[in-house]
Amino acid sequence: MVVARKEKTAGPVGQSVLRNDVLEKATGAAVYTDDIQFGPGLLFARVKRSPVPHGILKKVDVSKALALPGVKCVVTGKDYPDLMGLYLKDRATFAVDRVRFIGEPVAAVAAVTEEIAEAALDLIELEIEELPAVFDPELGAQKGAPLLHPDLENYVHPNFIFPEPGTNISNHFKIRRGDVEAAWPKCAAIVETKVRVPHIQHVPIETHVAVALADDKGKVTLWSSTQSPFAQRAMLAKTFHVPESDMRVIATYVGGGFGCKAGVTMEAIPIALALKVKGHPVKFRLTREEEFYTNFVRQGLILNLKVGCDKDGNLLAMENTMYWDGGAYTEYGVNVTRAGGYSSTGPFDIPNVKTDSICVYTNHPSGGPYRGFGMSELHTGLLQVMDMLAEKIGMDKVEFLKKNVIQGGDTVATGMTMHETGIKECVDKVAAAIDWGKKEAPTAPNKLRGKGIAVMWKAPAMPPNAGSSAIVKMNSDGTLDVSIGGQEIGQGTFTAMAQIAAQTLGMPYDAVRVSGPIDTKYSPYEWQTVASRLTWSMGNAVRLAAQDARQKILNLVAEAWKEDPKDLDIQDGVVISYKSEESIPVKDFVVYGLPKENDQGWIGGPIVGTGSFMPTYVTGLDPETGQGPRAVVHYTTGAQAVDIEIDKETGRLEVLRAAAAFDVGKAINPDLVAGQIEGGFVQGMSSAMFEGAMLENGVWRNPSFVDYRIATTMDVPPKIDAMFVETAQDDGPYGARGVGEHPMVPTIAALANAIKDATGVRITNPPFSAEKIYLALVDAGIVK
C-alpha cells in the first residue's frame, strides 16, 4: 500500500493517532492504523468500573447501553463468573456479586469507536450497597475487621500458599528458627522499629493494551503486551473454558514491564467481549489514569522489626512481622508475601529468627509483581535497622555488614545451606568507590553531606517446577535460528541467549537469529519472563539445545569422515578435525546432509537441537516453621553505596556518587549487566525520592504524571560505578545468575542511611521528598 501523506489527528478519547489520507479518500472515512492491521471490523472496548471501594453489587442494567447505535456487545460478571489467579484463584474478570476496590471492572462495552464505547458506559446503571472498607493491612488482619472475601476457604491454591479462611489473611508465611525469646537477654544492643513502605506504580511508558479475536469455531487469538504469554494462555483458557490448544497468545513488543505485565490483569476483558462478537477483533487499551489505579501495583508494607546483636556486633536474634497490603485481590501478591517470608533475614547469618509474613486483603488496588518482588520493601526496613545497630555499638557500618553477611556453607533461616557468594567483595568494592570512611566537605555552605551503604539478596520467586525450553535450528546459509519463549522487555535477554547459543555451538555471534515475536502456537514453552530467571533458566535450555545440535553435527561429520566425534570441534562455524586436520563449513551440510562414499546415498538431514530445563531440587517448607532442605534455587547478592548532599534551604536530596556491585555468577554480557545495574539504581532512587500512591479512602489521588513524579535524566547522579563479582553458580549456564531486579533492592535503605549520616535525623519511611526532609530538619532544629 502506498501512503501519500500521514498526519496526526484527534483520535478516540483525545489520543493522537495516525490517519491514512489515501484510504480516507478511497473510502470516504477516516481510517486509523489499527484498521490496517486488524481490518475494518475492529471494535474498541471500554470498561464500567466500581465507584466505591467495597459493596454488594445489587444491579447492573446494561439495556440502555446495548441500545446505543454503534454498540455491538456488553458483558458483565454474570456472563463470566469463573475465578482465575496464578497462585490463588480469587478474582473474576468482572465483579459478580461484590465490588472490592474503586476501579474494579463491573461491565465492558465493545463498540465501533472508542468514543461510542465510552458514551455507552454512562448508560450502564449500577446499584451498589456500600459496605465498611479496609484500608490498613495491620488492622485488616485483626479479628473483627470487615471481611472482604467470605469464600476464601473455597479458593484454589498450591500447597505452598497458606490462607486463613474467616479472616482477610490470604497467605501467612512463618519462620521459626532457634529461640528468639532466649536470645534477647544476651543482646548488648536491640533496635525495634516500624517502617511503612507505600504502594507505587510501575508506570511503563506503554500502558497495557491487548487485542482479542475469536473465530467462528471458538479459537481465540490474543495480541498482548505481556511478560507471560504462556501463563496467560493457561489461565485464560481455563477461565473461558477454551482448550489450551485453541488459545493462542502473540506477545508483541513490550514498552516497559517491570512486573506489571506479568500474569493476567486486563487481558481477559477483550477476550470476554470477543467471544460474544466472533469474527471481530476487540481492542482494549488502558488510559494512563487507569494504568495507575486499576492495574497491579507494588504492595504497600508495614514492617515491624526487632533485631539484636552482642557487644562485638554479632547478630543474635530477629523478629520480623510484615503486613503486606495485598489489595482487593491477591492472586499474585500471595507469592510476594512468601518471598518476603523466606528472605526475611536479608543476606545475614542470624541464629534465632521469628518471621510472620502476612498478606492481607484491603480495598486498595490489587498488589502484584514489581521489580524486586517484595525485596525492596523488606530491605528498606531491615538495612536501616542494621545501620542503627552498628551506631548503637559504635562499630563501623561496613565492618558490621561484613561481619554478619551470609557466606557459603552457612545455614539460612529456612534451613537451606547457602551456596558460595561474593557479597563481602561487593561490600568492599562499593565502599572503596565512594571513599567510605573519608569525611567529604559539602559543595556549598547551605548543604549537608553524607554517605550510606546497604546490602541485599534476592532469589528467583517462582514455583518449584518453573521450566524453560528452547529450539536451535541450523540453516543452509550458515545461520541458526534460536526459538525461545521468554520475552524481550529491554533487559537484553535475546542478546544473551544468542551469545550462549553461539558460544556453545562454536558459531559466530552474528550468525544467530533469535525468533520473535513470542507466539504460544510456535514458540517453545517458557514459564514467565519474571524473577530475574531467564539468563539462568532459559539460558540453561538454550545451552542444552545448542549442545544437542552441536553433537548431531559432530556425529554426522564423524560418520562421514570415519572419525571419533571426540576428535572433532566446531570453531567459527567450521567443523575441524584435530586428528586428520580436515575441515568443512557447517553451512555445507546442516540441512542437506553429506553424501556417502561412491554415491551410495546420503547421511544426515536438517539439524535441529532441543533443550529443556527445570530445577528438580527445590523442596517444600514446613508451614509452621518454614524449615526445609532447599527453599529456593539460589540467591543473587550485592551491595550499594551512595554519597549525597541535602540542601538545608529546600530539603532537596542530590546523589553525587553511587556505587553498586552484584555477584552475578558469570557476566554473559558485561555491558548488559552494567546497564541493568545502572537502570536498577535509578529506578530504586526514583522509588526512594519521589514515588508513592496518595490513597485516601480507596481513592488514588495522584493517578497521572502531573502529580506522580518519577526520576528523569536530570536526577541521575553524574557518576554511577556499576561493578560485578563472578562467583560461579553451580547450575547456571557458564555459572551465570540473574541480576535484573536486584540493583533496585538496596537503594531506598542506602539513601535513608545516607540521609541519617548527613543530617543526624533518621527518616524511615519513603519517599524521601524534599518537603519531608526539610520538615524533618525543622523539627530537629537544624533549620530554623
The Cα 295–Cα 261 span in angstroms is: 9
Radius of gyration of the chain (CA): 28
The Cα 590–Cα 603 span in angstroms is: 11
327: phi > 0 → left, psi -120 to 50 → alpha, else beta; which? Answer: left
Q: What is the 3-state secondary structure (H, E, C) of 5-27?
A: CEEEEECHHHCEEEEEHHHHHHH
Percent of the chain with pLDDT over 70: 95
Give residue 37's pLDDT band: very low, low, confident or very high (50, 70, 90): confident
Give the SS3 label for residue 567.
helix
The Cα 598–Cα 95 span in angstroms is: 74
Give residue 116's pLDDT band: very low, low, confident or very high (50, 70, 90): very high
Closest alpha carbon to 505 in 552, 561, 557, 565: 552
CB atoms under 10 Å from CB of 247, counted, come to 24
245: CB partners within 8 A, 6+ apart: none
Condensed to tens digits (0 to 9), the pLDDT of residues 501-511 reads 999 999 999 99
What confidence score (pLDDT) does residue 729 get? Answer: 98
Give residue 2's pLDDT band: very low, low, confident or very high (50, 70, 90): very low
Bridge partners of residue 118, in order along the sequence: none
Condensed to tens digits (0 to 9), the pLDDT of residues 717-766 reads 999 999 999 999 999 999 999 999 999 999 999 999 999 999 999 999 99
Which cell is 208 given? 497495557
Say yes or no to pLDDT of 21 above 60. Answer: no
What confidence score (pLDDT) does residue 19 get? Answer: 31
Which cell is 419 given? 551456596
In contact, 382 and 321? CB cutoff 8 Å: no
Condensed to tens digits (0 to 9), the pLDDT of residues 461-481 reads 999 999 999 999 999 999 999
The Cα 365–Cα 51 span in angstroms is: 13
- Average pLDDT score over residue span 367-394: 98
- Average pLDDT score over residue span 684-707: 98
Q: What is the DSSP string of 273-307?
A: HHTTSTT--EEEE--HHHHHHTS-BBPEEEEEEEE
Residue at 469: amino acid letter: S
Say yes or no to pLDDT of 14 above 80. Answer: no
- Average pLDDT score over residue span 430-456: 98
- Average pLDDT score over residue span 72-82: 98
- The shares of helix, strand and coil residues in the chain, as percent rounded to the nearest 5, are 30, 25, 45
Q: From residue 481, how far is each of 253, 300, 467, 566 by CA, in Å?
A: 19, 43, 21, 25
What confidence score (pLDDT) does residue 35 get? Answer: 61
Cis peptide before 163 (omega within 30 of 0): no
Say yes or no to pLDDT of 32 above 70. Answer: no
Give residue 17's pLDDT band: very low, low, confident or very high (50, 70, 90): very low
Computed over every residue of the chain, the mean pLDDT equals 95
Cis peptide before 767 (omega within 30 of 0): yes
The Cα 240–Cα 247 span in angstroms is: 10
- Average pLDDT score over residue span 101-106: 98
Condensed to tens digits (0 to 9), the pLDDT of residues 314-330 reads 999 999 999 999 999 99
CB crowding 448-462: b at 16 or more within 10 Å, else e: bbbbbbbbbbbbbbb
The Cα 227–Cα 262 span in angstroms is: 5
Which stretches of 475-523 are assigned E, i.e. beta strand?
Answer: 480-484, 512-514, 518-519
Bridge partners of residue 147, in order along the sequence: none
Give residue 34's pLDDT band: very low, low, confident or very high (50, 70, 90): low
pTM, rounded to two decimals: 0.95
| H or E segment and range at residue 176 | strand 169-177
The Cα 245–Cα 521 span in angstroms is: 8
Bridge partners of residue 195, in order along the sequence: 303
Give residue 256's pLDDT band: very low, low, confident or very high (50, 70, 90): very high
- Could you tell me the end-to-end alpha-carbon distance of the chain, in angstroms, rounded to an integer? 69
Which cell is 192 given? 525495634
For the chain, give the longest Cα–Cα distance.
Answer: 98
In contact, 93 and 239? CB cutoff 8 Å: yes
CB atoms under 10 Å from CB of 311, counted, come to 11
229 DSSP assignment: H
Say yes or no to pLDDT of 672 above 90. Answer: yes
Condensed to tens digits (0 to 9), the pLDDT of residues 188-232 reads 999 999 999 999 999 999 999 999 999 999 999 999 999 999 999
Residue at 188: amino acid letter: A
Condensed to tens digits (0 to 9), the pLDDT of residues 336-346 reads 999 999 999 99
CATH tag, 300-462+620-779 = 3.30.365.10
Give residue 253's pLDDT band: very low, low, confident or very high (50, 70, 90): confident
Closest alpha carbon to 632 in 305, 352, 375: 375
| 741 among known catalytic residues | yes
- Average pLDDT score over residue span 289-294: 98
Phi then psi dihedrals of residue 182, to 5 deg: -70, -20
Closest alpha carbon to 173 in 40, 343, 11: 343
Helices assigned H by DSSP within 417-563: 423-433, 493-505, 539-561
The Cα 553–Cα 605 span in angstroms is: 10
What confidence score (pLDDT) does residue 645 get? Answer: 98
Residue at 633: amino acid letter: V
What confidence score (pLDDT) does residue 784 get? Answer: 87
Give residue 33's pLDDT band: very low, low, confident or very high (50, 70, 90): low
Residue at 360: amino acid letter: V
Give the SS3 label for residue 685.
helix
Residue whose grid cell is 492504523: 33
The domains spanning 22-30+466-613 and 300-462+620-779 adopt the same CATH topology: yes
Sketch the domain layout of the chain as residue ranges: 22-30+466-613, 33-131+208-285, 300-462+620-779
Weakest mean pLDDT among 28-32, 615-619, 668-672, 676-680? 28-32
Q: From residue 141, how far is each of 132, 144, 149, 156, 322 by CA, in Å?
A: 15, 9, 13, 21, 11
Bridge partners of residue 306, in order along the sequence: 192, 319
Condensed to tens digits (0 to 9), the pLDDT of residues 573-613 reads 999 999 999 999 999 999 999 999 999 999 999 999 999 99
The CATH number of 33-131+208-285 is which of 3.90.1660.10, 3.90.1170.50, 3.40.50.720, 3.90.1150.10? 3.90.1170.50
Q: Please give the CATH topology (third level) of the domain spanning 22-30+466-613.
A: Aldehyde Oxidoreductase; domain 4 (3.30.365)
- Average pLDDT score over residue span 248-253: 94
Q: Of the listed 488, 645, 691, 741, which one is catalytic?
A: 741
- Average pLDDT score over residue span 422-427: 98
CA 9 to chain centre: 35
In contact, 514 and 494? CB cutoff 8 Å: yes
Which stretches of 616-771 are assigned E, i.e. beta strand?
Answer: 636-647, 653-663, 695-696, 699-700, 719-725
Say yes or no to pLDDT of 408 above 90. Answer: yes
